[in-house]
């Protein structure tokens, strides 16, 4: 489990097929000195396991399923990636619950620069996403973009926008990514659980009563409330 608060930016040093899996190597001296074999590390929001360490670099095995579901297929040596070690239960929890299990990818639609702030300007980031992901995205809700915990500013039919403050711009890779580039997305798990529980509840009530869900006043009221609060569309 992770918080979405990026600890460091590392450099991809290897991305090679090795024993039927792709082995990813990332150099980040400070994090490599703290990590041990078997530790979980989020790389651009994807939870991976350290399988080898060498000269300030950590190496991870990447499955073909991960390559299909994330932006990892575009990785090349020299690219920069966001990194976070798995959270500790006794430390401050500053972001939101991020599992490192990416739900899919989106594409940067635009970046609108904003001036001011410590260290330079931030920007508004617009991201296009699929309907299967956007159903869980709500205004003022949480979302992880390339492992970064962010708050959704606005939601549209095509995607959503977030505000990147200058500090986040400076300490992550988002400042390096142009419009058109894909990013990893992990939606807030709470929305997925709510949807599953509601679906199971409605199905159970319908089976027990023999009444169609849309004919049940209780179920209709509950769905209406969830829609008002933005949990379901």
Task: Report the chain's mean pLDDT, rounded to a whole number.
Answer: 88
pLDDT at residue 14 tops 70:
yes
**High-pLDDT (> 90) share of the chain, %:** 68
**Per-residue model confidence (pLDDT) at position 43:** 98
Torsion on CA atoms 4, 5, 9, 13, rounded to nearest 10 = -30
**High-pLDDT (> 70) share of the chain, %:** 85
- Give me the residue label for tokens 């599953």: 196
**Per-residue model confidence (pLDDT) at position 215:** 43
Which of 94-98, 193-197, 226-230 has the least mean pLDDT? 226-230
Q: Which residues of 197-229 are buried (b: 16+ CB within 10 A; e: fewer)?
A: ebeeebeeebeeeeeeeeebeebeeebeeeeee
Q: What average pLDDT does range 9-26 have in this prediction?
A: 91
**Could you report the per-residue pLDDT of 168-215, keeping only the tens digit for each?**
999 999 999 999 999 999 998 887 888 777 777 666 655 555 555 554
């Amino acid at each position: 489990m992770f918080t979405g608060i990026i600890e460091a930016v590392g450099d991809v040093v290897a991305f090679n097929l090795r024993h039927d899996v792709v082995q990813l190597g990332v150099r980040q001296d400070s994090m490599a000195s703290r990590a041990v074999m078997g530790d979980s590390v989020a790389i651009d929001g994807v939870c991976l396991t350290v399988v080898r360490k060498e000269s300030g670099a950590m190496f991870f095995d990447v499955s073909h399923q991960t390559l299909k579901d994330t932006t990892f297929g575009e990785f090349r040596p020299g690219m920069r990636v966001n990194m976070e070690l798995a959270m500790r239960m006794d430390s401050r929890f500053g972001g939101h619950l991020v599992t490192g299990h990416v739900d899919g990818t989106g594409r940067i639609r635009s970046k609108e620069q904003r001036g001011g702030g410590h260290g330079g300007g931030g920007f508004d980031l617009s991201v296009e996403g699929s309907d299967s992901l956007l159903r869980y995205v709500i205004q003022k809700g949480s979302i992880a973009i390339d492992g970064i915990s962010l708050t959704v500013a606005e939601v549209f039919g095509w995607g959503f926008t977030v505000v990147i403050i200058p500090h986040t711009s400076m300490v992550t890779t988002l400042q390096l990514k142009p419009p058109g580039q894909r990013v990893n997305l992990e939606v807030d798990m709470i929305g997925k659980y709510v949807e599953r529980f509601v679906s199971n509840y409605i199905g159970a009530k319908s089976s027990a009563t023999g009444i169609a869900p849309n004919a049940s006043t209780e179920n209709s009221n509950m769905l209406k409330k969830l829609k008002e609060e933005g949990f379901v569309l």
